[in-house]
Amino acid sequence: MAKAIQKIAMNAAENIPYDKLMLSQKNVRRIKDGVSVEQLAEDISRRKLLQSLNVRPVLDGDGEETGTFEVPAGGRRYLALGILIKQKRLAKNEPIPCIVNRRQETSAEEDSLAENLRRADLHPLDQFRAFKTLSDQGLDPDEIGDRFFVSPATVRQRLRLASVSLRLLDLYEKDEIRLEQVIAFSISDDHARQEQIWERISNSHTQEPYYIRRLLTDGTRRRSPGRLCRRGSL
């Protein structure tokens, strides 16, 4: 007889006042990297929390809940909320969306590590598509960069991918073309020419971005004007 599959029960979601939360010392993140806590606070003020905190109840000596909760996963969000409270932009007892782990089938350190390691960076092509949507909605590169803490130059670079053939973008999505090559193709809006050049170099050893740019501009160099001949003239 087949063994019954054990069903998974999710940890409950609760709104817990901020002043009942405390940062866990078991959070594995120690080194600052990426978006600063101050920037994260500004992002939360703009769009509120997009991800709950992962918390565990603090127990007394008898194993009973004390009414406070530690935060082993989501520490940067916790600190960012604290900044907003210090700035008096958020009440210190504001209910904060939390996932409460009472079963504790895994350690706090393991949960903290899992949250940080399983976070995948957005692919540049997905960035392009998202930035393009925001651009179509009326935001300029400076505004997009300011909202998502990237340089306007990065935003403009991603938006330039709109000038690249969909066929080449599809190859890039499949990791058959490098980002540097795609950017090189973006100096031209001629999709047929882009695809023609890729067909020419795809099986060769010379696929460097400088060579792609050279091939794209080879037929567009300014030519010196020739003599005009009138009918009947020598």
Q: What is the pLDDT of residues 175-222, one digit of tens each?
A: 999 999 999 999 999 999 999 999 999 988 889 999 999 999 985 554
Tokens 């900044």 correspond to 83
Q: Where in the chain is the domain with CATH 1.10.10?
A: 124-219
Q: Does domain 12-117 have CATH number 3.90.1530.10?
A: yes
The three-state secondary structure class of 137 is: coil
The Cα–Cα gap between 161 and 127 comes to: 10
Q: What is the pLDDT of residues 131-142, one digit of tens each?
A: 999 999 999 999
Q: To 10 degrees, what angle do helices 124-136 and 166-173 make?
A: 140
State both tokens at 133. 């949507």
The whole-number pLDDT of residue 220 equals 53
Q: Are 147 and 47 in contact (CB under 8 A)?
A: no
Q: Are 96 and 18 in contact (CB under 8 A)?
A: yes
Confidence class of residue 230 from pLDDT cuts 50, 70 and 90? very low
Q: What is the pLDDT of residues 123-179, one digit of tens each?
A: 889 989 999 999 999 999 999 999 988 899 999 989 999 899 999 999 999 999 999
Residue 3 has pLDDT above 90, yes or no: no
Radius of gyration of the chain (CA): 27
Q: To 10 degrees, what angle do helices 124-136 and 141-148 make?
A: 120
> What single letter denotes the amino acid at residue 188?
S
The three-state secondary structure class of 95 is: strand
Average confidence (pLDDT) over 102-116: 86
Task: Supply the pTM of this predicted model.
Answer: 0.73
Residue 2 has pLDDT above 50, yes or no: yes
Range in 80-89, 188-197, 222-231 with the lowest mean pLDDT: 222-231
Residue 227 has pLDDT above 50, yes or no: no
The Cα–Cα gap between 234 and 231 comes to: 9
Average confidence (pLDDT) over 84-92: 96
User: What's the sign of the alpha-carbon dihedral 198, 189, 173, 144?
Assistant: positive
Residue 233 has pLDDT above 70, yes or no: no
Confidence class of residue 223 from pLDDT cuts 50, 70 and 90? very low
Higher pLDDT, 76 or 28: 76
Range in 28-32, 54-58, 154-158 with the lowest mean pLDDT: 28-32
- Edge-to-edge order in the sheet of strand 21-23: 12-17, 95-100, 53-59, 65-73, 21-23
Q: Where in the chain is the domain with CATH 3.90.1530.10?
A: 12-117
Please identify, in words, the CATH class of the domain defined by 124-219. Answer: mainly alpha
In the chain, alpha helices (H): 37-47, 75-86, 108-117, 124-136, 141-148, 152-159, 166-173, 179-185, 191-201, 209-217
State both tokens at 112. 């903290």
The whole-number pLDDT of residue 9 equals 87
Residue 100 has pLDDT above 90, yes or no: yes
The 10 Å CB-count burial string (b at 16+, else e) for 88-119 is: eebeeeeebebbbbeeeeeebeebbbebeeee
Q: Are 122 and 34 in contact (CB under 8 A)?
A: no
Average confidence (pLDDT) over 71-85: 94
- Nearest of 222, 216, 24, 196 to residue 111 by alpha carbon: 24
